[in-house]
Amino acid sequence: MRLKIRKHQAVIAGINAASVIGILALTAAGSHIARSQGYNYSARKWDSSGGSTQISCFLSEENGFNTDGVQAVRSALTKKLEEASLFPEEGKSLFNDAYSTPAGTVQLRSEGRSRCEADLTVVGGDFFFFRDFRLLSGAYFTERDLMQDGAVIDRSLAWSLFGSDNVAGMKISINDRDFYVAGVIAEPSTEEEKYCDGDMPKVYISYTGAEIIGLSSDDSMMYYGEEGSDAASKFTDVSTYECISPDPVENFTLNTLKKHFNADDSDSIIIVDNTHRFSPSALAKKYRKRWKAAVLDSKLTLPWWENASRIAEYKLSPIYFFRRLLFIPPVLTALWILYLIWRFISRNKGKFISAVIDKIYQINYNRHLKKKQKEVK
């Protein structure tokens, strides 16, 4: 028997097929853009079970946040986790965090006397765990290292100073103070990151390293004079604090940090939930007001990796908004089919009831017949 398809049925089927293809295409494009901003997925590295959330806090100079404030945040977060009956396993940390700040431009020199300028970022905590850097040689330093004279440089800086990126362990000087190359990282690879990273080479040192080169918290570069003299004040500036912490209830870590920083009543801080920032439903809602997310208070200076993620958000909001619209035809079609089924059942209710009664009667009759046959035997 040849199946006859009406014209309107073919049109509806075509619209639904196009919608499904569009949904799949936009989902794939959105996933690709979101995954390219790898720093937002550090919580997965820390907790593969998915029970932890990554939060980033970006603070202006006006906020006055510093390394003492980091200790206060750690204490507040620990207290809240303990109140929620969460305690670390022996030898492990319950949460992970990092802090950093840009510190201007510095002069670097290699043993071969090659010179180069670079953007300096001072980092603390487990900073490199949160970054999506690709390590080319060497290793990252941490604040737990006994010596704090290591520096992580990017590939362009390594080539400018040494003509190679395999230079881990080589000596360099930063503002005429001795350091060694702990590791070399590749430059960002995505379009968004390249744009926000800029052309200036990058170097990363610890807070102790910042004091070694004479960097002080009053934004002035101070230099050591005679051997043994200490002209620099302690460097404590922090403009970015980020952490990965368990979420026993939804938004536990986010709300804890918001309350600690009094973020709802302050325009000197932005708090970002990295773990859920690329949620399709959340970004679809932001589409009409996405321009607001692109405009920042001038008092806040965001690091390049956060700016890159904000560009990704701007790109993703229309993708997920139009993807949501494409769900309308399949949903309406499904509702229409359900209505047709309901109408068919309603019109043939008597026949269905009769058929069910006949079936029950037939089952009971066969059972009774089998019972009689057994009795006869």
Measured N-to-C along each axis, helices 7-36 and 304-326 cross at an angle, to the nearest 10 degrees, of 170
- 45: nearest Cα among 126, 140, 155, 101: 126
| Contact between 232 and 43 (Cβ < 8 Å) | no
215, two tokens: 């960097």
In this prediction, residue 297 carries a pLDDT of 54
Q: What is the amino acid identity at position 255?
A: N
- Give pLDDT, residue 5: 67
Instruction: Kindly report the number of other CB atoms within 10 A of residue 239's CB atom.
Output: 23
Angle between helices 349-376 and 328-347 (to 10 degrees): 60
End-to-end CA distance of the chain: 49
| CA–CA distance, 238 with 95 (Å, rounded to integer) | 19
30, 80, 191 from 34: Cα distances, Å: 6, 31, 13
pLDDT at residue 223, rounded to an integer: 38
3-state SS record for 223-290: CCCCCCCCCCCCCCECCEEEEEEECCCCCHHHHHHHHHHCHHHCCCEEEEEHHHCCCHHHHHHCHHHH
Using CA atoms, how far residue 186 sits from 34, 195, 196, in Å, is 20, 15, 15
- What are the CA-CA distances from residue 88 to residues 143, 187, 358 (Å)? 20, 35, 66
Helix axes 7-36, 328-347, angle to 10 degrees: 140
Q: From 77, 126, 123, select the one nearest 245 (Cα to Cα).
A: 77
Residue 263 identity (one-letter amino acid)? A
Contact 52, 245 (CB under 8 A): yes
Cα 183 to Cα 206: distance, rounded to the nearest angstrom: 13
The whole-angstrom separation of Cα 143 and Cα 162 is 27
**pLDDT per residue as tens, the chain (377 positions):** 455 667 888 888 899 999 999 999 999 999 999 998 989 999 999 988 889 999 999 998 888 899 999 999 999 999 999 999 988 887 788 999 999 999 999 999 998 778 999 999 999 999 999 998 999 999 999 888 878 899 999 999 999 999 999 999 999 999 999 999 999 999 998 888 989 988 899 999 999 999 999 888 765 444 333 343 444 468 999 999 999 999 999 999 999 999 999 887 777 899 999 999 998 888 888 776 665 555 555 567 889 999 999 999 989 999 999 999 999 999 999 999 999 888 888 887 777 777 777 778 788 777 777 776 766 65
Q: Does the global pTM surpass 0.75? A: yes
Amino acid at position 44, single letter: R
Measure Cα distances from 69 to 61, 64, 150, 236, 265 in Å: 13, 9, 25, 9, 18
Neighbouring C-beta atoms of residue 221, cutoff 10 Å: 14
- CB contact set of 155 (below 8 Å; sequence gap of 6+): 136, 165, 184, 185, 186, 187
Q: Rounded to the nearest 10 degrees, how much is the dihedral formed by the CA atoms of 81, 146, 98, 39?
A: -120
